[in-house]
Amino acid sequence: MAWRLFEEQDHAVLYQKYRLPSPSQIRNLVLSYLKRKKGKPFTLAVDIGCGPGQSTRGLASYFEQVVGIDVSGAQIEEAMKVDGPENVSYRRGLAEELEFEDGSVDLVTAGAAAHWFDMEKFMKEVERILKPKGCVALYCYRPPFELHYNDCSEQLTQIVQEMFKTLGPYQSEKCHIVQNEYKEIYHAITFPDKERVDDISFKQQVSISWIKGFFESLSYYQTFRKKDPECAKASIERMEQNIQQALGASSSETVLETKWTAFCLLASKP
């Protein structure tokens, strides 16, 4: 099963440390869509494939209750370790078997996760648990991201692109759904009232060591590491050195700017 790629404890720890908190640009887009389609009150949001909860916690101040669901026990364990808002809880569970009452949920989200789901079964559950006019938002980041630092941004971005190219052969077939920008997923959304937003972009300041950790957190790096640990380690260290050299930096804690783009599918239950 594809989701077994996220089951190991050390992988979950990398996820906690090196993944993006869900960007405000996406959160605002989703919340204004929900406000437009359903309106308040915002009682319950459910974040599926929540990983260690970065995408879940960002919703806390807008809903009475937020629940993060993930099939991986290790990811849920990491999420629970965070001293987060009191109205956020986490449970192990499947996107395809959601343990919520019929018509009880205002918003279902999935950040960088929907490509792992069985969409037919997931949509059946979404239809069942959403309130009338409740919404579903499925978003994902587009690799590669850009790196910016003084006048060497082009060189840095090329280093990142090369790293993604090295990892390419280790991608699960599910990653093609991301490369295809969720076209199949859009078609699988059964609500007639649906739309896609393609022009989301945001910036994030990160250290060189964060970039290394981010690559290590990717499911396809983990596949590479299992197949050829030495080669995987060497290629990620080479990338780190190349970035450091391009910046003329002596420390891997040097901070630079990453620029990301993302897309989001939005739909509202009749």
Nearby residues of 252 by Cβ (< 8 Å), 6 or more positions away:
207, 208, 209, 212, 240, 244
What is the closest distance, in whole angstroms, from the C-beta atom of residue 201 to ligand SAM in the complex? 17
Interacting span for ligand SAM (CB under 6 A) from 44-52, 191-199, 230-238, 241-249? 44-52
Answer left, alpha or beta for residue 51, where phi above 0 means left and psi between -120 and 50 means alpha. left
Query: Site residues for ligand SAM, window 204-263 (CB under 6 A)?
Result: none
Convert residues 114-153 into a mask of x (bound to ligand SAM by CB under 6 A) and - (unbound): --xx------------------------------------
Residues 51/108/194/42 CA torsion (nearest 10 deg): -130
Do 259 and 206 form a contact (C-beta atoms < 8 A)?
A: no
Do 206 and 256 form a contact (C-beta atoms < 8 A)?
A: yes
What are the backbone angles phi and psi of residue 68, rounded to the nearest 5°?
-100, 135
- Which residues on neighbouring strands pair with residue 196, listed in sequence order? 265
Nearer to ligand SAM, 158 or 223 (CB): 223
The token pair at 260 is 């990301």
Nearer to ligand SAM, 152 or 222 (CB): 222
What is the closest distance, in whole angstroms, from the C-beta atom of residue 111 to ligand SAM in the complex? 3
Interface with ligand SAM includes 34 (CB under 6 A)?
Answer: no
Interacting span for ligand SAM (CB under 6 A) from 33-41, 47-55, 82-90, 200-208? 47-55
What are the E-state strand segments in the chain?
Answer: 44-48, 65-70, 88-92, 105-111, 130-148, 193-207, 255-268
Beta carbons within 10 angstroms of residue 21's beta carbon? 12
What is the closest distance, in whole angstroms, from the C-beta atom of residue 2 to ligand SAM in the complex? 7
Interacting span for ligand SAM (CB under 6 A) from 93-101, 203-211, 227-235, 242-250? 93-101
Beta carbons within 10 angstroms of residue 60's beta carbon? 16
Interacting span for ligand SAM (CB under 6 A) from 111-119, 176-184, 188-196, 224-232? 111-119
Interacting span for ligand SAM (CB under 6 A) from 28-36, 90-98, 248-256, 257-265? 90-98
Convert residues 10-29 into a mask of x (bound to ligand SAM by CB under 6 A) and - (unbound): ---------x--x-------
- Which residues on neighbouring strands pair with residue 263, listed in sequence order? 140
Interface with ligand SAM includes 31 (CB under 6 A)?
Answer: no
What is the closest distance, in whole angstroms, from the C-beta atom of residue 183 to ligand SAM in the complex? 19
Q: How many residues bind ligand SAM (CB under 6 A)?
A: 23
Beta carbons within 10 angstroms of residue 30's beta carbon? 26
Interface with ligand SAM includes 94 (CB under 6 A)?
Answer: yes
Beta carbons within 10 angstroms of residue 198's beta carbon? 12
Interface with ligand SAM includes 38 (CB under 6 A)?
Answer: no
List 14, 18, 55, 236, residue binding ligand SAM (CB under 6 A): 55
Distance of CA 164 to the CA centre of its chain: 17
Instruction: Please choose, from the candidates 214, 92, 198, 69, the residue with its C-alpha nearest in 3D space to the C-alpha of residue 139.
Output: 198
Q: Which residues bind ligand SAM (CB under 6 A)?
A: 3, 6, 19, 22, 48-51, 54-55, 69-72, 75, 94-96, 111-113, 116-117
